[in-house]
Amino acid sequence: MGRTILIIEDETAQAQILKYNLESAGFETLLADTGGSGIASARAELPDLVLLDWMLPDMSGIEVCKTLKTDDDTKTIPIIMLTARGDEDDKVRGLTVGADDYVVKPHSIKELIARIKAALRKSGSDDETLSFADIVMNIETYRVNRGGNDIKLGPKEFRLLKTLLGRPKKVWTRAQLLDRVWGTDIYVDERTVDVHMGRLRKAINKGGRTDLIRTIRGAGYALDESS
Ligand code: CA
């Protein structure tokens, strides 16, 4: 299971090529074809990185970048801008509104992936392991342990925990968790989240350990010690 990359690109063919290549390289992808839907998706799903096209139908990539970089929830997500222009002024403009890197189209997919990995490394999110309190998850081997003891999780519980571990203490709504774990293409009842969260809680708290999953009434769930 890789890191999630949100591709904001209005040219369908280009977006599909990126999606295909990034998935082949082990990333998970989300697609948005307008600036507005890209911003909404970034806020709802908190991807690990955003690939942002410079020219979008509803607003400029610069505007999207500015918006994401001034929003507390999304400002730490690295953004790589994609543009057909090679203009130095544009590059400077992109970087001054907070873009982390800038790639001129056409680019080689190899180079793009190298840039993505570099940006993820800089943002500290390329580690193989995620941890919080005494829970450690290895996202390459799918192993989870708490205090040194292996924890067996089903695939949905694993993804739920991975999502929570990605942003400890952040309160996730059921809708956000559904999007991250079940995907945006299918309809799943929000109560399904409660069922799987119940299983996850049981698995990680086995043996009377401190409950690390906080339920926030009317809001959702968080991974938090102070529960
Ligand atoms: Ca475009």
Tokens of 87: 């203009």
Amino acid 59: pLDDT: 94
How many angstroms separate the CA atoms of 210 and 8, rounded?
Answer: 40
Q: Say yes or no: 107 and 176 in one domain.
A: no
Tokens of 135: 């829970």
Which of these three, 85, 108, 123, is where a domain ends? 123
Span from the CA of 40 to the centroid of ligand 1 (angstroms): 18
Q: Say yes or no: 12 and 119 in one domain.
A: yes
Tokens of 128: 């193989």
Q: Say yes or no: 13 and 114 in one domain.
A: yes
How many angstroms separate the CA atoms of 134 and 139, rounded?
Answer: 16
Q: Please, what is the Cα angle at 72 between 182 and 16, to 5 degrees?
A: 45
Nearest to 51 by CA among 6, 20, 103: 6
Span from the CA of 224 to the centroid of ligand 1 (angstroms): 40
Q: Say yes or no: 105 and 148 in one domain.
A: no
Amino acid 83: pLDDT: 83
Q: Say yes or no: 139 and 183 in one domain.
A: yes
Q: Say yes or no: 109 and 156 in one domain.
A: no
Amino acid 183: pLDDT: 78
Q: Say yes or no: 115 and 8 in one domain.
A: yes
Q: Say yes or no: 175 and 199 in one domain.
A: yes
Which of these three, 98, 123, 148, is where a domain ends? 123
Number of domains in the chain: 2
Span from the CA of 195 to the centroid of ligand 1 (angstroms): 41
Amino acid 87: pLDDT: 66
CATH number of the domain that 142 lies in?
Answer: 1.10.10.10
Instruction: Supply the range of the domain harboring residue 194.
Output: 129-223
Q: Say yes or no: 110 and 15 in one domain.
A: yes
Q: Say yes or no: 29 and 93 in one domain.
A: yes
Span from the CA of 90 to the centroid of ligand 1 (angstroms): 15
Amino acid 53: pLDDT: 93
Q: Say yes or no: 97 and 205 in one domain.
A: no
Amino acid 85: pLDDT: 65
Read out DSSP for the chain? ---EEEEE-S-HHHHHHHHHHHHHTT-EEEEESSHHHHHHHHHHH--SEEEEESB-SSSBHHHHHHHHHHSTTTTTS-EEEEES---HHHHHHHHHTT-SEEEESS--HHHHHHHHHHHHHHTT---SEEEETTEEEETTTTEEEETTEEE---HHHHHHHHHHHHSTTPPEEHHHHIIIII-SSS---THHHHHHHHHHHHHHTTTTPPP-EEEETTTEEEE-TT-
Nearest to 120 by CA among 23, 49, 24: 49
Span from the CA of 3 to the centroid of ligand 1 (angstroms): 24
CATH number of the domain that 99 lies in?
Answer: 3.40.50.2300
Q: Say yes or no: 9 and 52 in one domain.
A: yes
Span from the CA of 9 to the centroid of ligand 1 (angstroms): 6
> pLDDT tens per residue, the chain (227 residues)?
468 999 999 999 999 999 999 999 889 899 999 999 999 999 988 899 999 998 899 999 999 999 999 998 898 899 999 887 666 677 777 777 788 988 887 778 899 999 999 898 887 665 678 889 899 998 878 899 998 899 999 999 999 999 999 888 889 999 989 988 887 777 889 899 999 999 999 999 987 788 999 999 989 999 998 64
Which of these three, 97, 123, 149, is where a domain ends? 123
Q: How many residues does the chain have?
A: 227
